[in-house]
Structure 1
Amino acid sequence: MTLRTTRVIQALAVSIAAGALPLTAVATSAAGSTTAGTAAASTAYCGITWGSLAKSSAPMVRGPVTGVRAGRHACFDRLVIDVTGRAPGFSVQYVNAVYTEGKGTLVPLRGGARLRVVALAPAYTATGAPSFTPANRSEVVNVTGYPTFRQVAWAGSFEGQTTLGLGVRARLPFRVFTIQDATTSRLVIDVANHW
């Protein structure tokens, strides 16, 4: 193997690891040129390797939930929960059914699978005043036309945690992470459009 070929392979490996390139099979010819072809079973959709098991993080925060929004991306649909202050802990997992906080009433959801999204932050202030109240508890965010999301429903806020039901097309890979700036933070849930 020539030094040039070694450097090309190293550059490709770094780009794939950083997510800058989709994972594909790369072949090098005897002349030193590279060609890329799709690797049948081993290639992940859009480079997504998230999986569908439960994801969680522990810190509970006092900063209240202030909003919920959604967006479509090329490879996934995204749900964002806005919070004042530090980033909240969370628990996100596929469940057979989502129930309201406190009361335990079934939250009906459209779609072939259901994610229970729990933000470890209240949807009310320290004085008990609501910090976020959805206009429609059954349709917190309009996700009509989204490839993966079917419905976002409010399950309530009780004892410092806020729960949403996320109806999705099927049990698909997802990831959860938080983003924090000087005064606000966001809990982000991305669900892949395909496996």
Structure 2
Amino acid sequence: MHHHSSRAAVIAGLVLTAVGATIPASAITQTKAAATPTSPARVVNARWGGHCTYDRLVIDIKGGTPSVGVSRVSSLHYDPSGRKVPLAGNYFLSIRLSPAVAHNSAGTSIYSGPRLATVPLYKLKGLALTGDFEGVVSFGTAFKTKPTWKVTKLHSPERVVVDFAHVNRCA
């Protein structure tokens, strides 16, 4: 009996070791970071650029990168007032960063980027800072045609990148 339980313990140890070896270090780090109370990311700027096959929005961050959610919305509204954002377009996206702030502990804005801008790119036509409320910083984007997008987090320096695909304008 003792012999079988020792073998089972060895097998269980090997399985746990194998499973542990397949967990990427980034997953462990992210779990620890999520469990550790930290100050929210600080959103300090937003900028854009046009490329051959995509338009790019870059949101500059100080501190760690927050989670990012992008969703289609029928119109843009300022948070928390609910006032409509005056950006022209047929399609709109809401970009939400959390936990994040665009102000310091005294309540003074640390965000130096555009608050409401017409953007002269092929796909991206407008950008607005729509909220800095309760640990969420939000932006709204406007388009004439239906957008597709890809979100990437880049480091050193920290930033969130949203690319909006379009036809090749350089060919």
TM-score of the pair, normalised by structure 1: 0.61
Q: Does the 8 A contact of 2:44 with 2:113 survive in 1?
A: no
- Cα distance in 1 for partners of 2:132, 2:146 equals 25
- Cα distance in 2 for partners of 1:115, 1:168 equals 9
2:41 matched residue in structure 1: 63
User: How many residue pairs end up in the alignment?
Assistant: 131
- Cα distance in 2 for partners of 1:87, 1:61 equals 11
2:158 to 178, 182, 185: 185
Q: CA deviation at 1:102?
A: 1.1
Are 1:160 and 2:135 an aligned pair? yes
Q: CA deviation at 1:190?
A: 0.6
- Cα distance in 1 for partners of 2:106, 2:62 equals 15
Instruction: Specify the structure having the higher radius of gyration (Cα).
Output: 2
Please show how residues 22-37 of structure 1 align to structure 2 within 5 Å: none
1:32 matched residue in structure 2: none
Are 1:130 and 2:113 an aligned pair? no
Are 1:78 and 2:56 an aligned pair? yes
Question: 2:84 is aligned with what amino acid?
Answer: L
Q: Does the 8 A contact of 1:97 with 1:114 survive in 2?
A: yes
Q: Per residue, is there more helix in 1 or in 2?
A: 2
Q: CA deviation at 1:160?
A: 1.3
Instruction: Please identify runs of 4+ aligned residues in structure 1 that moved more than 4 A.
Output: none
2:97 matched residue in structure 1: 119
2:85 to 107, 117, 121: 107
TM-score of the pair, normalised by structure 2: 0.69
Q: CA deviation at 1:67?
A: 0.6
Gaps of 5+ in 1: 1-58
Pairwise CA RMSD of aligned residues? 2.1
The verdict on how the C-alpha distance between 1:96 and 1:61 changes in structure 2, with shifts beyond 3 A counting, is: farther
Q: Does the 8 A contact of 2:92 with 2:143 survive in 1?
A: yes
- Cα distance in 2 for partners of 1:134, 1:104 equals 21
- Cα distance in 2 for partners of 1:126, 1:89 equals 21
- Cα distance in 2 for partners of 1:99, 1:81 equals 19
